[in-house]
Chain A
Amino acid sequence: MYTITQRQLRERLWYRYQRRLAPYLFISPFFILFVVFALGPLVAALYFSMIKWPGTGPMTFIGAANYLELFEDEIFLKSLGNTTYYAIGAVFVILPVALFLALLINAAVVRVKSVFRTAFILPLLTSTVAATIMFLLMFEHQYGLFNVALEAAGLDTLKWLDEELVKLSVLLVAAWRYTGLNMLYFLAGLQSIPTDVYEAAAVDGAGRWTTFWQITLPLLRPVSLFVVVVTIIGSFQFFAEPLLLAGGGPNNASLTIANYLYRVGFTFLRMGYASAVGYVLAVIIFILTLVQLKIFGASGRN
């Protein structure tokens, strides 16, 4: 008798405990990995950024020397400029095109919407590496499709991978890969706007232009915030396209911050310096994200 009640008691206690512990257990894998593979390394990276270390042997603490060197490092400053170029191109060219395409597809006149939607998402499914290899062939000076098309139109051919044009070419690859995804985000946002809002505007005699600026764009704010934040964070971590298309060159003309970090750390084996590059990158992304949240948040209160 006694043993059975004790067993029942134990079971009841266990049942109550597993109920209380469950949520902590369920989220623990993420937080364990977060501490080991993100928070720990983030703290370590700060320390690493203040040492001199060729990957093996002793580490020498040198304080802010890496950071001071960084702000006079012309290649780093160039990569910072290039990365900014890509981010601006993504936000002010790729995103407006994506929004425009979404508006067009959402328009009542367009038939076979699903065909367009699918076609625009295909590039996303191709790996960056495969996509860049495809474009490498198309940028080829004599036989590449871009120059063949220019020739056929009676125009001068261009040196797509030369110092002057290489950033634009990288942006063309990025446009190929990411326009469709952002278009889908905008499309989803557009479709969540109730139609009676538009009907009311039409009754008030609002033109198409007014409707877009006064109704569509403000109602798209949550989606726009998401898309812009994700795009900027992504642009500042741009890596594979410039590396594979032009090796970051020629003359570092296409080099991004992430490319430079990799080169410094894993080619030159300057682990401390690479960590300093990484920390500057993190700070830039952090500040930009806060600024955007502030801008979008402030205009959202009206």
Chain B
Amino acid sequence: MRTSPKLWPRIEAVAVHLFLVGGLLYMSIPFLWMVGASLKKQSEIFRNPPTFIPDDLVFGNYISLFVEYDFLRHFLNSTFLAVVHTLLYLFFCSLAGYAFAKYEFRLKNLLFLLLLGSMMVPGYTLFVPLFVLAIRLKLVDSYIGVLLPGIVGAFGIFFMKQNMESVPDELLDASRIDGTTEFGAFWRVARPLAAPAMAVLAVLAFLTSWNDFVWPLVILRTRELQTLPVILAGMLGMYRMEYGVVMAGSFLSALPVLILFSSMQRNFVQGLTVGALRG
């Protein structure tokens, strides 16, 4: 018996969707599980069969997160570092990206090659000397020490160069004829035109700082100064681990990035892939 000509594409469409939904579940279940567990008592987290929606909804985990673990303090620490990092990173990367896109100068190609090459150097190789340097410069246990090595980066410059290339030279020249300085041309003409790309880079920069784990762990010695990921990781090593509290903390720490992302989802997905396409 032959299958009807219309049946086969339909089976295929169903199979494709099934596969995708399977992937979707693998991606979303851990997240939903985390949210559920943050609203459960410890005894319900360890129950077989498991419950996704808590039988017994409790907010105790969130309360003890704020009362016992001083969550707000660490949340504000991370927010402060991420905001300052993002602003500085955007400023310095867009400025350098603009220079590489819009000027001809001596050694330009060589310097750009050096910049790309620097992306190959693994951070861990520099770990010990960087730590020694931080001690010598008295940067240990200070936010300047956390921020300074990362306020400008090769990826950000490369990303901004790609986007600054589309800024029309005529507009820049027009502002020069009006007597603005070179920085003025950048600030008043190029920067506003590159705003969409900068928004994407802002999310990426925020994400990098917000999720950074190793460098704050090494640089910050005082617990009060410490960032969220380090505090959360520290809760893992505790003698009697309160899973619900850790889940509540993990969820709350993911929340700002989720909100930031969903507010500019479309631009983000497009912008993220710029480097891959032109690289």
Contact = CB atoms under 8 A, between A and B. Distances in A.
Interface residues of A, number: 92
Contacts of B13: 109-110
Given A42-B126, A138-B33, A278-B122, A129 B233 contact: yes
Contact of A22 (B12, B118, B183): B183
Main secondary structure of the interface of A (DSSP, over half): helix
Contacts of A244: 233, 236
Contact of A261 (B34, B124, B154): B124
Contact of B247 (A45, A119, A134): A134
Contacts of A187: 273
Contact of A278 (B114, B127, B265): B127
B111 A27 contact: yes
A41 B210 contact: no
A274 B128 contact: yes
B236 A136 contact: yes
B275 A120 contact: no
Given A38-B118, A130-B253, A30 B129 contact: no
A19 B182 CA distance: 6
Nearest to B265: A118
A148 interface: yes
Given A23-B103, A128-B213, A30 B157 contact: yes
A134 B213 contact: no
B148 A29 contact: no
Contact of B273 (A101, A185, A262): A185
B214 A239 contact: yes
Contacts of B261: 121, 125
Main secondary structure of the interface of B (DSSP, over half): helix
A37 B130 contact: yes
B122 A122 contact: no
B48 interface: yes
Contacts of A138: 30, 33
B45 A137 contact: yes
Interface residues of B, number: 93
Given A127-B210, A128-B229, A42 B121 contact: yes
A118 to B, nearest CB: 6
Interface string B129-157: 11111000000000000001101111001
A261 B127 contact: yes
Contacts of A274: 127-128
Interface stretch (B17-25, B57-65, B66-74, B192-200): B17-25
B124 A281 contact: yes
Contacts of A184: 269, 272-273
Contact of B269 (A15, A23, A117, A135): A117
A61 interface: no
Interface in B226-279: 228-229, 232-233, 236, 243, 246-247, 249-251, 253-254, 257-258, 261, 265, 269, 272-273, 275-277, 279
Given A23-B105, A27-B111, A134-B33, A266 B218 contact: yes
B148 A26 contact: no
A209 B47 CA distance: 47
B126 A188 contact: no
Most chain A C-beta atoms within 10 Å of own C-beta, residue among B20, B207, B243: B20
B95 interface: yes
A110 B128 CA distance: 50
B16 interface: yes
Interface stretch (A86-94, A161-169, A196-204, A220-228): A220-228
A48 B128 contact: yes
B182 A18 contact: yes
Most chain A C-beta atoms within 10 Å of own C-beta, residue among B31, B125, B265, B275: B125
A213 interface: no
Nearest to B182: A22
Q: 10 closest Cβ contacts across the A-B interface?
A: A188-B273, A130-B250, A22-B182, A41-B129, A26-B99, A278-B125, A23-B103, A44-B129, A127-B211, A41-B126
14 contacts: A18-B182, A19-B182, A27-B99, A30-B157, A109-B9, A110-B17, A122-B258, A127-B228, A137-B33, A184-B269, A189-B277, A237-B124, A240-B213, A278-B128
Interface of A: 15, 18-19, 22-24, 26-27, 29-31, 33-34, 36-38, 40-42, 44-45, 48, 101, 104-105, 107, 109-110, 116-123, 125-131, 133-138, 140, 142-143, 145, 148, 151-152, 176, 179-181, 184-185, 187-189, 192, 222-223, 226-227, 233, 236-237, 239-240, 244, 257-258, 261-262, 265-266, 271, 274-275, 278-279, 281-282, 285-286, 289
